[in-house]
Amino acid sequence: MLTTTDLLTCDSFIDINDISLQLYADFSRSVLLKRQFHYYFTDDTDIIVTFEEYGIRHLLAIHHIDGSVSRDEFFSTIDTGLTLEDLKQTRAMRQRFKQYKPRIRLFSCIYNTLRCGRVFHCPNGKVVNTVEVYMDYILYREIDTKGFNIGMRYENGRYVPLTILVGKEINKQKYIDGTSEKIVTRLIISDISTQETIETITYSDDFIMSSSKEDR
């Protein structure tokens, strides 16, 4: 079983048995919900990305598997006993769980992907090769044999990660075909409440230079 510390650097398509909903809830409350990600692009624009509890429920596709789990009480439902096994109680739920299991597994890589991903794709509304997924940005990376797409939408003054789309090996980039791109030059990760910088990452074509308080 992975730990919350492991999730800071996880960069592989891990086994479902190595994660749990409680692990994800603990990591979300201790790290994701407390940090903001300020991206600067080569075109001199910038955006701020932050997480919300309802967004994490969506990232994990819980609303697709079991719609009875409240969007505003997701973590407390986990604290009172909700597990991955509970998402497989009926045949229909088991089928949905199987469909979205890659999404649940790849969530373990979300923090490191936010750190290392350099290309934001602009779907201009509806994401290609989806029925009704509308996002403002997609941050794309390849994780092992999968295309890992983090979809973000502008809500209340910042961009919130709301979906994970998984491209299979045969067509990893199916969700970003034909999109325009924004290239990241610098990322500042900071504490939301104190505004203290946790890590600054500067990117170029051939290297990534990081200055991290956590490493000191």
* For the chain, domain boundaries: 19-215
Q: Which residues of the chain carry a pLDDT beneath 70? A: 206-216
Give the per-residue pLDDT at 7: 98
Q: Which residue in this structure is represented by tokens 């290609």?
A: 128
Q: Is the pTM of this model over 0.85?
A: yes
Amino acid 113 reads T
Give the per-residue pLDDT at 216: 40
Q: Which residue in this structure is represented by tokens 């429920």?
A: 57
What is the spatial distance between Cα 154 and Cα 9, in angstroms, rounded to a whole number? 26
Q: Where are the beta strands (DSSP E) in the chain?
A: 35-41, 46-50, 119-122, 125-126, 134-135, 137-143, 146-155, 158-167, 180-191, 197-203, 208-212
Give the per-residue pLDDT at 24: 98
